[in-house]
Structure 1
Amino acid sequence: MLVEAQDISVAIGGRPVLDSETLSCRPGTMTALVGPSGSGKTTLLHCLGLLLPVDRGRITIDGDVVTDYGAAARRRFWRDHAAFVLQDYGLMDEESVAFNITMRASPLGRRVLGDRERLAQALGRTGLAGREEEPASHLSGGEKQRLALARAIYKQARILFVDEPTASLDAANRTMVIDLFTDFAASGRTVIISTHDSEIVDACESRHEVASGRPAERLVNNQ
């Protein structure tokens, strides 16, 4: 899905955070939102994902204006099209790996429901095969990142919103997570990543410097 923002501005607590940001995030690509700490990268990501409202400007998805979506329309967007990999992982630690992926269980939670084949594929692609019965609390930080991405793969989300995914990962998990994002985009999805990690930026097809006032640019080394 094509995600575009035109001149969006946001103030939080009376303080300007975003000022006339314009960018375009194309399907089949990864776009990096870059800038120094406090520049508004995460705020911009949350606006594009409809987690935060904008004060001025508009956001469109596949040409449809979504800026003024009400609560029900936002929930449908999150349910049908979007997935998030945020710094707090967005997981339920007390629940199993499988439940955190499918988000469906039988009455009283005795059995995880959902498409078993898709679940197996999501676990296999993220290196979590055989761990579906474990509580999410048993996973390391890198494994939790991969679990959040497994949920997006299972869901067949068309847009993935990612916030500082490698901030606390070791080298092995860092490489695996970047490769998973790259594969996700290569399957035709739109991947938008707020990051300060130069390795992720190098893996992206385009980048947008937050607070620069410039549209996202195509990276020469990925053309």
Structure 2
Amino acid sequence: MIEAHGISVTIGSRPVLHGETVRCTPGKMTALVGPSGCGKTTLLHCLGLLLPIDRGSMSINGKNVTGYNTAERRRFWRDYAAFVLQDYGIMDEESVAFNVTLQASLFGRRVTGDLERMRQALAKTGLKGRENELAGRLSGGEKQRLALARAIYKDASILFVDEPTASLDPANRRKVIDLFADFAKQGRTVIISTHDAEMIDACDRKHRVGLDNSATDMPKSDQTNQGGS
């Protein structure tokens, strides 16, 4: 559970967020929506503790995290969070397998970690059998799925996603949306900054950045096999 209460952020001399209040619950996908420049990505980064806030408060599972220092934020990223950002966070010059486990033997001669769990994560994201390929050879949609495979391997409880379908064709868009939905159904919290109508329709809740003060449930007609809040 991630909750932000009245948070505001100024970058340089420009106010970006103005008293945003949002509640993101486990087992659901929350969409951060609004026009370009409204602060969707900034709010996502604040919720993921990537960006400090100027005013307001934040809590995770009821614990106040507003004043977390660098070490505390790093522990949160290490133990609970995974990120799928617009640049995918993929290392093109490394193998698919390494991009999932982020572990290698001395001098990087072979990938280490739980290799069976790595293969299972790739299978779940449609990348079975491609662990030895260079990640740079993957398409944009495949890199999105590889970033999600990393989150599955990590067993992250909170997933932060920024514009995941911006450059995807319709087939890959549907695959990525379904993967995020499945991730949420396992009891994880999924928070997505997006302007994609199909992605928004797949989410359980939406928060209009800059226009309202809470995340609201999507109409039941827009939900797929999801319960209400």
What TM-score, normalized by structure 2, do the two folds share? 0.96
Q: How many angstroms does 1:68 deviate by?
A: 1.1
What's 2:190 paired with?
A: 191
What's 2:13 paired with?
A: 14
User: CA separation in 1, counterparts of 2:58 and 2:144?
Assistant: 27
What's 1:144 paired with?
A: 143
Give SS of 2:4's match. Answer: strand
Give SS of 1:50's match. Answer: coil
Q: How many angstroms does 1:47 deviate by?
A: 0.3
> Does the 8 Å contact 1:19/1:213 carry over to 2?
no
Give SS of 2:23's match. Answer: strand
Compute the RMSD of aligned alpha carbons.
Answer: 0.7
Q: How many angstroms does 1:213 deviate by?
A: 3.2
What code does the residue aligned with 1:152 have? A
> Does the 8 Å contact 1:97/1:147 carry over to 2?
yes
Give SS of 2:73's match. Answer: helix
User: CA separation in 2, counterparts of 1:66 and 1:90?
Assistant: 25
> Does the 8 Å contact 1:20/1:213 carry over to 2?
no
What's 1:78 paired with?
A: 77
Q: How many angstroms does 1:17 deviate by?
A: 0.3
User: CA separation in 2, counterparts of 1:141 and 1:220?
Assistant: 31
Give SS of 1:148's match. Answer: helix
User: CA separation in 2, counterparts of 1:54 and 1:104?
Assistant: 33
User: CA separation in 2, counterparts of 1:117 and 1:132?
Assistant: 11
- 1:1-223 to 2 correspondence within 5 Å? 2-221=1-220, 222=223, 223=228
> Does the 8 Å contact 1:5/1:48 carry over to 2?
yes
Unaligned residue ranges in structure 2 (runs of 5+): none
What code does the residue aligned with 2:160 have? F
Q: How many angstroms does 1:75 deviate by?
A: 0.7
Q: How many angstroms does 1:214 deviate by?
A: 2.1
User: CA separation in 2, counterparts of 1:149 and 1:176?
Assistant: 12
Unaligned residue ranges in structure 1 (runs of 5+): none
Number of matched pairs: 222
Q: How many angstroms does 1:76 deviate by?
A: 0.6
What TM-score, normalized by structure 1, do the two folds share? 0.98
Give SS of 1:54's match. Answer: coil
Moved over 2 A (4+): none
Q: What are the Cα deviations for residues 197-217 of structure 1, in whole angstroms up to 9, with x where unaligned?
A: 111111111000000132000
Q: How many angstroms does 1:171 deviate by?
A: 1.0
